[in-house]
Structure 1
Amino acid sequence: MTEKTPEPFQFKASDVDIRSRETVFQGFFRMDKVRLTHPRFDGSIMPEFTRELFVRGDATCVLPYDPARDEVVLLEQFRMGAIGRDQSPWLLELVAGMNEAGESPEDVAHREAEEEAGLTFDRLEKICEYLVSPGGTTEMVYLYVGQVGTANAGGLFGLDHEHEDIRAHVFSADEAFNMIRDGRINNAAAIMAIQWLQLNRDRLRDEWNRL
């Protein structure tokens, strides 16, 4: 008789044995070097190994959506991590910001909407929360869609002391879907939120236009 495969998540955080942890870089971000071991699926123990961990706080990202006009607002800004690719390092992204101590993700959403796009959310609906790249960084993103009016949206925004230079664009939902399809939008949070909107657009337009 074949032995049944165990269910996933048999291990917990407490099963990880952290032998040492030191900060090897502290700047705009932090890098730690961690020595650790943990159980293996076959019942043995993994030999001690070392990983570098990019320590970055959690963030909140929001797709502004006008259900009456069926339009979204996307932000264009420079991103250092896109340099060296066969594309422009100016990306189309969501409203986004780092979660500060004492703030809820919803607090961050409202703050960043005003700072980055001059927008006010009438309501927010959570899409999901996800680990950005858990092989090397601690960051968790809280992803939302937010109801806005786009009639007067658009323009230049950003905080000078944070070296932000942001242009807010208004697109039809269909154009946003097309930009995912042809690769003009290729960052994870925007792809996830816009594809979620594609699946939920009819429901949102029905519910939000009635409220």
Structure 2
Amino acid sequence: MSELFKPGPDAVEILQRETCFQGFYKLDRLQLRHRLFAGGMGPELNRELFVRHDAVCVLPYDPQRDCVVLIEQFRVGAMDKNGNPWLLELVAGLIDKDEQPEEVARREAVEEADLNLGALWPITTYFPSPGGSDERVYLYVGRCDSQGAGGVHGLAEEGEDIRVHVWPLEDALQAVRDGRINNAASIIALQWLALNRAEVRGLWS
């Protein structure tokens, strides 16, 4: 296996950076050069960068019933390319103040699903679209009691209208197979749980 490229502190040279748009999110335009695998610096590149807060996503899992809690809500990004822009997703929120990712996971579980999470199991941290966005996602499985979960939740002042579903894990995995669950965080978390279910249930049951 070949060695991974290990860039030094001078591997990227920012020639210019300007903010093109500043709202809830920010769009920056950068002119930069970066070091090449073969050595030396490459040509000047122009790149737009979507600047976002880091996000936290958590899959609530009931190890006693072998069920997961999923939420359903409208997503504008799916409106033009999906027949149904109401997506089945994980509980999620942005780290937009001085909070730890675990705090965001617990807060959002209450706000979006009326769930109090027990133990949190870190799955991974990943970049969902690093070609044009600096967003980083912290991904967890959270222990929960799914009995009585359901209804419609969310913060009215944020325009949230979130329906809660409790599904057997096997049904959720089938929804990944047939494309009904079609967003990255949900697919990653459910596939991870499928691979690690025995260990998780052994420790949480």
- What is the identity, as a one-letter code, of the residue corresponding to 2:150? G
Equivalent in the alignment of 1:122: 118
Equivalent in the alignment of 2:129: 133
| Cα shift at 1:6 | 6.1
Work out which of the two has the higher radius of gyration on C-alpha atoms and give 1 or 2.
Answer: 1
> Is 1:38 aligned to residue 41 of structure 2?
no
> Is 1:182 aligned to residue 174 of structure 2?
no
- What is the identity, as a one-letter code, of the residue corresponding to 2:123? I
Large movers: runs of 4+ above 3 Å? none
In the alignment, the residues of structure 2 paired with residue 115 and residue 6 of structure 1 have an alpha-carbon distance, to the nearest angstrom, of: 46
In the alignment, the residues of structure 2 paired with residue 147 and residue 191 of structure 1 have an alpha-carbon distance, to the nearest angstrom, of: 18
Deviations 1:1-25 (A, max 9, x none): xxxx962132145410001111001
**Paired residues for 1:1-211 under 5 Å:** 7-12=3-8, 14-209=10-205
Structure 2 length as normaliser, TM-score?
0.97
Deviations 1:83-131 (A, max 9, x none): 1114200000000000123200000001000000000111100000001
Report the 3-state secondary structure (helix = DSSP H, G, I; strand = E; otherwise coil) of the residue aligned with 1:143. Answer: strand
- What is the identity, as a one-letter code, of the residue corresponding to 1:175? D
- What is the identity, as a one-letter code, of the residue corresponding to 1:126? P
Aligned length, in residue pairs? 205
Report the 3-state secondary structure (helix = DSSP H, G, I; strand = E; otherwise coil) of the residue aligned with 1:128. Answer: strand
In the alignment, the residues of structure 1 paired with residue 102 and residue 6 of structure 2 have an alpha-carbon distance, to the nearest angstrom, of: 33
Contact 2:5 2:37 in 1 (8 A): no
Deviations 1:13-69 (A, max 9, x none): 541000111100112211000010111112132111110000001000000000001
Deviations 1:141-169 (A, max 9, x none): 00000000011101100111111110010
| Cα shift at 1:202 | 1.2
- What is the identity, as a one-letter code, of the residue corresponding to 2:62? D
Percent identical residues: 54
Report the 3-state secondary structure (helix = DSSP H, G, I; strand = E; otherwise coil) of the residue aligned with 1:47. Answer: coil
Structure 1 length as normaliser, TM-score?
0.94
- What is the identity, as a one-letter code, of the residue corresponding to 1:156? V
In the alignment, the residues of structure 2 paired with residue 148 and residue 58 of structure 1 have an alpha-carbon distance, to the nearest angstrom, of: 24
Unaligned runs of 5+ in 2: none
